[in-house]
Amino acid sequence: MTTLTPVERSARRRRRRQEDLVRWGIRAVVVLVVFALGIALGQALHDNPKPGTTITFERTLRIPTSGNPARTVVP
């Protein structure tokens, strides 16, 4: 077992704190990226209509006939 001097101990503690800060910084960035991707996915799903929905238009076609309403073809 090696004995560390007070200077070496404080240097190790300083290095350890810096490593911890970097680790927490990386974790925070990952959490923010996942959060942003979740918001983007939610917005994309909210903005787009559901696939496969059918829109039906109903219109009445009026064909002019020459006096006889039962006849649609004029010779």
* Distance separating alpha carbons of residues 75 and 73, to the nearest angstrom: 6
* Distance separating alpha carbons of residues 25 and 32, to the nearest angstrom: 11
pTM, full prediction: 0.49
Per residue in 7-42, pLDDT (tens digit) is 888 878 888 888 899 999 999 999 999 999 999 998
Return the H-helix or E-strand segment holding 11: helix 6-47
Evaluate if residue 69 carries a pLDDT over 80. Answer: no
Mean pLDDT on 45-73: 73
Q: Taking the CA of residue 35 as centre, how many other CA atoms within 13 Å lie in the half-sphere pointing to its CB?
A: 6
